[in-house]
Amino acid sequence: MNEEYSSKSLGILSDPTACREPINLKNQSRESLISNLELLVLIRKAEEKIADNVENGRIKCPCHLAIGQEAPAIGIAAHIQKGDAVFGAHRSHAHYLALGGDLRELFAEILGKETGCSKGMGGSMHLRSLKNQLYGTVPIVGATIPIATGAALAHKLDGNDSIAVSFLGDGAVEEGVLHESLNLASTMNLPVIYVVENNLFASHLHIGLRQPNDSTCRFAEAHNIKWSRIDGNDTVKLIETTGTAINCARSNGGPHFIEAVTYRWRGHVGHREDNDVGVKRSDDLEGWKKRDPIDRLARALFDDGAYTQNELDTAKLEIDRKIEAAWQQAEEDRYPLKGELFRRVYA
């Protein structure tokens, strides 16, 4: 089989010197692409704000940043409707913000304030925004894969057209529960979309040290689940591919497995770049920065004439202002009262 279409190999998608050109905008609405670009910028800048405050010590809780790999969240969020159920993991700030989660509530959660999206009880690794269909993100690797599968089962039992989404990493496919979940979803034809953000690393270990093949799509193929592998830094392709998969699942077409190939610019946890983790990482990071999802979408929109550098600069100023205001507010917010520790143990 041609490498490009094999479920086992990422082919050029894992090559940091490939895929640097502006992306193809195709027939996507320019207006919605512009708002998605601005959303990408907001996520990037919000996480940079978090990184700075991890560095200066204001944030104490562990933060896993998605800087550089924000695009898959945008692709999925573009198609999420009322009734859907989305689940994430430890690296989920981008999922939360792409779905429309409130900035101040995110910052407040990370600072342990009562105004946080989880009332200050969970921190960065436990985000929830029910009004935006985000049911929960948790840091036990693989834990939300079966939970998303079960949400899809509930939708199917209800006979509605809602779907469930499980965001997971390339490390999470190493947990046995992935295989059990894919088998369930496949045999029961459940409306669930598994989105693997394959950033080639699970904490300090490159995928080459952990798996015999670098594409996780082979697991979908083994369970007869339709799969798509895409450049995870190409927002347009992500929007297109997830759209097709989600529409298919909504009309009883069963599960879909999407592998978005991407890269995180910061270390596994915290603000640093972790250049010391393996020779491969320091060599590749500079290359991946040239595959920036934001830059590639922006350049394509400029070339297209739909958007200008000037407009982007203005938008950035507004985003900075929003982030600053949300951060100030979160810093001023109150900590939970002591009794909150016990009030929430049982429903």
Partner 1 sequence: MTNYGSAIREGFSYLLNNYKEVFTIGQGLWSPWYVGNTMTDLDKEFGKDRVIDTPVSELATTGAALGAALCGKRPIVIHPRVDFGLLAVDQIVNQAAKWAHMFGGDIPLPLVVRMIVNRGGEQGAQHSQSLHSWFAHIPGLRVVIPSTPTDARDLLIAASLGNNPVVYMDDRWLYDLEEDLPPIQVNSLDDECPKIVKPGSDLTIVGCGFTTRLSINAADQLSKLGIESEIIDLRVINPLKCETIIESVSKTGRLVVVDGDWENCGIAGEVIAQVTTKIELGKLKANPARITLPSAPAPTSKVLEEIYYISDKAIVDRVIDMMK
Binding site for ligand TPP (CB under 6 A): 90-91, 139-141, 169-172, 199, 201-203, 268
Residue 346 phi, psi dihedral angles, 5° rounding: -120, 150
Strand order through the sheet with 256-261 = 134-137, 85-88, 164-169, 192-198, 256-261, 226-231
Q: Helices 235-250 and 293-304 meet at what angle, rounded to 10?
A: 100
Closest to Mg ion by CB, 15 or 303: 15
**Which residue, among 133, 132, 128, 216, has the nearest Cα to 171 in the 3D structure?**
216
Tokens of 175: 């947990």
Among 112, 43, 119, 46, which residue's Cα sits nearest to residue 327?
46
What is the number of alpha carbons within 13 Å of residue 323 lying toward its C-beta?
Answer: 21
Residue 136 interacts with, from partner 1, Mg ion, ligand TPP, none (CB under 5-8 Å by kind): none
Selected binder of partner 1 within 75, 88, 101, 122 (CB under 8 A)? 122
Residue 210 binding: pick among ligand TPP, partner 1, Mg ion, none (C-beta 5-8 Å cut-off by kind)? partner 1
Q: Does 88 bind partner 1 (CB under 8 A)?
A: no
Enumerate the β-bridge partners of residue 136: 87
List, in order, residues 6 or more apart from 292 with CB less than 8 Å away: 68, 233
Which option in Mg ion, partner 1, ligand TPP, none does residue 25 bind, with CB closer than 5 to 8 A by kind?
Answer: none
Angle at 247 between CA 242 and CA 249, to 5 degrees: 95
Among 44, 268, 271, 291, binds partner 1 (CB under 8 A): 268
Question: What is the rounded CA–CA span in Å between residue 80 and residue 334?
Answer: 32
Binding mask 204-243 for Mg ion (x = CB under 5 A): ----------------------------------------
Among 172, 297, 300, 323, binds partner 1 (CB under 8 A): 172
Among residues 88 and 101, whose Cβ is nearest to ligand TPP? 88
- The distance of closest approach from Cβ of residue 143 to partner 1 in the complex, given in angstroms and rounded to an integer, is 8
342 contributes a contact to partner 1 by CB under 8 A: yes
164: alpha, beta or left, given left = phi > 0 and alpha = psi -120 to 50?
A: beta
Stretch that binds partner 1, among 72-80, 170-178, 251-259, 307-315 (CB under 8 A): 170-178
Closer by beta carbon to ligand TPP, 89 or else 151:
89
Q: Are 260 and 245 in contact (CB under 8 A)?
A: no
CB nearer ligand TPP, residue 268 or residue 296 = 268
Contact call for residue 211 and partner 1 (CB under 8 A): yes
Restricted to residues 135-174, the positions that interact with Mg ion (CB under 5 A) are: 169-170
Q: Which spans of this chain sit near partner 1 (rule: CB under 8 A)?
A: 60-62, 112-113, 120-123, 125-126, 138-142, 171-172, 174-176, 202-205, 209-211, 268-269, 335-336, 338, 340-342, 344-345
